[in-house]
Amino acid sequence: MSRKPIAIGAIATLVAGLATSAYALDLSGKTVEFVIPFSESGGSAKWANFYAPLISEALPGKPTIVVKYMPGAGSTKGANWFQDRTFEDTQGTVIFGSSGSTQFPYLLGDPRVKYEYGDWNVVLASGTGGVAFLPPDLAGKMNGLDATGLQDTDFIWGSQGATRLDLVPLLAWEMLGMKVEPVFGIKGRGDGRLMFERGEANIDYQTSAAYLANVVPLVEAGQAVPMMTWGALDADGDIVRDPTFPDLPSFKEVCEATPVCKTSGEAWDAWKAFMIAGFPAQKMIFLPKGADQDAIDTYTNALNAVFARADFPEISKKRLGVYPQMTGKQATATLALGTKVSPEAKAFVLKWLKERYGVSLN
């Protein structure tokens, strides 16, 4: 009889030791700032506010996680701020949410970029999609998937900037022969949606989380009509329909149905390269430079615990859509996908930006 309590005690000690190993970073009583370099009205805000309470519950000590918005310069302001943070200073109390609009200036060599993704430590990579939509009267100009009927319309669109994630729709619309005049300088995609709702813009797109939350009600009210998604990648690297919106055509389908648009050649190759960099690797969470393995493992284990929740598939589908949520080696591989494009694609886009918008990054 005397051995049983000793055995139980040994097991308890072992479990406690495992827990300490898995969660070496104790955040009891702490507040974690989840910094988003955009305004509070866009897809990144929806994504961050979805994850914040779930991560809080899963982290050791259940710290309060506060989403902090730091818009400016198309997200480079917030990214530059994060570059100056170190794990030694923050001790796991600052995490950063990157987006495709943060990755593209980095890819294109924007001189405002002072940040280096190689210094940061990725703990989550979230894929996403994007949906373009029109007012009902203009949607009627499409002939099935053929967008030729839209070519005589003067479109106005609220954009964060041609070197941001917005270059994916700008290039797509141009390939379709559409005349879309961007109003640059908005602080987040949510501000572009508000321009559409106020009638100041007659075309828009939103990433999936924001589309599900804010545009689906407009569609249901008859105030917007989806035009297409940017699509998704299959196992062979081909563009296919977005799994969150299987009833909507992809840009590839609309391009194939529109005579002026081609799904081969320099423009298509560049569009596809930047679409891949911007959407399958669309949003990521980072710890700052200098984070030790214990901290990385703590956040990784917490995120894996979030994914293991019985209700996660249902709640994530409603809020984020149907996309991979990745940690560990998968997240690292996705980071590489989102921060590299071919020299040919980069050269094409830099030339296009200069010729079309007078933007020179040299």
CA-angle at 283, arms to 45 and 102, nearest 5°: 90
Q: Which residues, including other chains, have CB under 8 Å from residue 127's CB and lie 6 or more apart? A: 232, 279, 280, 281, 282, 323, 324, 325, 326, 334
On the CB side of 233, CA atoms within 13 Å amount to 19
Within 10 Å of residue 212's Cβ, how many Cβ atoms?
Answer: 21
CATH number for the segment(s) 130-278+343-355:
3.40.190.10
Residue 5 has pLDDT above 80, yes or no: no
* pLDDT tens-digit map of 59-103: 999 999 999 999 988 799 999 999 999 999 999 999 999 998 899
* pLDDT tens-digit map of 172-209: 999 999 999 999 989 888 999 999 999 999 999 999 99
CA-angle at 257, arms to 279 and 273, nearest 5°: 25
* pLDDT tens-digit map of 138-180: 999 999 999 999 999 999 999 989 998 999 999 999 999 999 9
One-letter identity of residue 324:
P
What was the pLDDT predicted at 362?
65
Confidence class of residue 20 from pLDDT cuts 50, 70 and 90?
Answer: very low
What was the pLDDT predicted at 16?
38
What was the pLDDT predicted at 10?
39
CATH number for the segment(s) 3-127+280-338:
3.40.190.150
- In SS3 terms, 133-167 reads as EECHHHHCCCECCECHHHCCCEEEEEECCCCCCCH
What was the pLDDT predicted at 112?
92
Residue 8 has pLDDT above 70, yes or no: no
Q: Which residue has the higher pLDDT, 299 or 237?
A: 299
On the CB side of 284, CA atoms within 13 Å amount to 33
Residue 13 has pLDDT above 80, yes or no: no
Q: What percent of the chain has pLDDT over 70?
A: 93
Residue-range domain boundaries for the chain: 3-127+280-338, 130-278+343-355
Q: Which residues, including other chains, have CB under 8 Å from residue 208's CB and lie 6 or more apart? A: 43, 128, 129, 130, 131, 242, 244, 245, 320, 321, 323
On the CB side of 168, CA atoms within 13 Å amount to 30
**Separation CA 301–CA 51 (nearest Å):** 14
- Nearest-CA neighbor of 41 among 206, 151, 231, 253? 206
Confidence class of residue 51 from pLDDT cuts 50, 70 and 90?
Answer: very high
Taking residues 118-124, what's their average pLDDT?
97
Residue 311 has pLDDT above 50, yes or no: yes
In 160-303 the beta strands, taken as DSSP E runs, fall at 179-184, 204-207, 225-229, 232-233, 239-240, 283-287
Identical fold, 3-127+280-338 and 130-278+343-355: yes
Return left, alpha or beta for 132; rule: phi > 0 is left, psi -120 to 50 is alpha, else beta: beta
Residue 9 has pLDDT above 60, yes or no: no
